[in-house]
Amino acid sequence: MSVTSFEVPSEAAMIEAGRAFARELKDGTVIGLDGDLGAGKTHFCKGLVAGLGADEAVTSPTFSLVQEYGSGRLPVFHFDWYRLESPRELETLGWDDYLDEEGIVLVEWAEKFPGMLPPSTIRLHFAITPDGARLVTVNRP
């Protein structure tokens, strides 16, 4: 396992961090995002989707549970597990089918059901620092 961390000073910088992260992504990558509300997960996703060349506006899928972005070099399936109560709910959304799709799977609030993530999942933890910046810790299997 490889662990790295970096500090992000602003929302714009978080979007740029997502863009940079997207450059290395390959088909079939699953990314789990953890952290408190307002820690930067959705802004990172905005940058990641843009970094893949997609032109869709990225929003948090809190109420829709999953958003699909297909205009980039790889499709992105953006999940938000915040409102889910059990893995069974995730199964009814077709979770396993999404894992079999070509593209990138992004999961906000991945810490809710870690057993549903494949072992190859890249995990990112977002934390708010005392000075208001964001600390992103990346765990790669």
What domains can you pick out in the chain, each with its CATH number? 2-140 (3.40.50.300)
Tell me the HSE value of 36 on the side-chain side, using a 13 A CA sphere: 7
Q: Tens of pLDDT along the chain (141 residues)?
A: 899 999 999 999 999 999 999 999 999 999 999 999 999 999 999 999 999 999 999 988 777 889 999 999 999 999 999 999 999 999 999 999 999 999 999 999 999 999 999 999 999 999 999 999 999 999 999
Quote the pTM value. 0.94
Which phi and psi angles does 73 have, rounded to 5°? -65, -20
Which of 86, 101, 92 has the alpha carbon at shortest distance from 78?
101
| Cα dist from 102 to 52, 60, 97, 118, whole Å | 14, 21, 10, 15
Q: What is the pLDDT of residue 77?
A: 97
Q: What is the pLDDT of residue 60?
A: 81
Q: What is the pLDDT of residue 101?
A: 93
Q: What is the pLDDT of residue 107?
A: 97
For residue 66, give the H/E element and its range: strand 66-69
Q: What is the pLDDT of residue 61?
A: 79
| Cα dist from 40 to 16, 98, 114, whole Å | 12, 24, 20
Contact 64, 37 (CB under 8 A): no
